[in-house]
Amino acid sequence: MSKNAKLSIIIPTIEEEAIFTIIKRLKEIFPMGLEIIVVDKSSERYYRKLLEAHVKVIRQKDKGVENAIMLGLRNAKGSILASIDADGTHDLSGIAAGVEMVRKGEADLVLGNRFGKLGKGSMSPHIAIGNKLISKVYDITYQKKIHDVLTGLFVMNRKAFEAIKNVTPYRAGIAFFAIELANRGFEIKEVPIEYYKRTSGESKLTNSKVLYGIKVTSHIIRLARDYNPLLIFGTLGVILLVSGFALGGYILYSFITSGTFTLIGRSLIAFMLVISGILSVIAGFILDLLLEISKKINNK
């Protein structure tokens, strides 16, 4: 890829005030060969303000950030394509780092890992746990070393985009791109970025992040081409078993040292952990068997 290959950056927005600073800074970081495409789902007033920022603006008629980014990508001319949230929470330098990796051919898709340098108070603890768990499921299912599959920053090469440009996006945020590209054998890597607290407005993504998280997880598991239930349920089972035995060991130790048995609640939890662990492993074997049978039937 040539050094002055054009870079297109897609910015999805619903009334984000931080976008104007982002546009200004991106123009400073990439003074040459930059195309900024804002995919806007805001008011008339905001739209007019965007036009004054001298960027390409596409107004989104349907819903969802996945559709917004896809719309922007389909209209992009660059040989390297990127996207960043408009709320000012993502570290812009992640784009340059991702472009470098894509340019060198180290990856086809680079995701900005917000857990690299998470700013204080930038992500609430339960959202962080949810994001980490979802990324772990992605990591295990697709065998990629990714820690933040729901980030708002990515860079990809045109070849990767051409392979998925006709796929209709589903509700999975940027995981949609990571799932589709993993299924097609593209190289996916990450780069650590800083994540900052939102300075204005509220989250626009969804009314319920819990439901959104469940939807994303189900897409990740259902769409895996080489879906491996034994690996997923087996790993989960082992984690449960290890935690159960660890807790059991601790209970036994305190019983031996104190001579009295008081930890009834904890014993129950340890018992449940071990039982669920065993069940999870069994479920993995059964699902694996069913998958094998269905594959054989389909091939006939």
- Which positions lie near Mg ion, rule CB under 5 A? 85, 87, 89
> Rounded to an integer, what distance in angstroms lies between the CA atom of residue 270 and that of residue 239?
12
Q: Is residue 200 a contact residue for ligand GDP (CB under 6 A)?
A: no
Tell me the window of 62-70, 139-147, 248-256, 266-274 that interacts with ligand GDP (CB under 6 A). 62-70
Q: Is residue 178 a contact residue for ligand GDP (CB under 6 A)?
A: no
Q: Is residue 148 a contact residue for ligand GDP (CB under 6 A)?
A: no
Q: Which tokens sit at 192? A: 């650590």
Q: Is residue 14 a contact residue for ligand GDP (CB under 6 A)?
A: yes
**Of Mg ion, ligand GDP, none, which one does residue 65 interact with (CB within 5 to 8 Å by kind)?**
ligand GDP
Q: Least separation, in Å, of the C-beta of 68 and ligand GDP?
A: 3
- Beta-bridge mates of residue 111: 154, 190
- Contacting residue, 12, 169, 213, 234, with ligand GDP by CB under 6 A: 12
> Rounded to an integer, what distance in angstroms lies between the CA atom of residue 140 and that of residue 50?
41
Q: Which tokens sit at 4? A: 């002055």
Q: Is residue 60 a contact residue for ligand GDP (CB under 6 A)?
A: yes
Q: Is residue 203 a contact residue for ligand GDP (CB under 6 A)?
A: yes
Q: Do the bridges between strand 80-84 and strand 56-59 make them parallel or antiparallel, or are there none, so unpaired?
A: unpaired
Q: Is residue 50 a contact residue for ligand GDP (CB under 6 A)?
A: no
* Cβ closest to ligand GDP, residue 161 vs residue 195: 195
Residues 29-48 that bind ligand GDP (CB under 6 A): 39-41
Buried b or exposed e, range 124-135, using 16+ CB within 10 angstroms = eeeebebbbebb
E-strand stretches of 119-166: 153-157
Q: Is residue 149 a contact residue for ligand GDP (CB under 6 A)?
A: no
Burial-class residue 168 by CB neighbours within 10 Å (0-12, 13-18, 19+): exposed
Q: How far apart are the first and last CA of the chain?
A: 44
Q: Which positions touch ligand GDP (CB under 6 A)?
A: 12-14, 16, 39-41, 60, 63-65, 68, 85-87, 152, 203-205
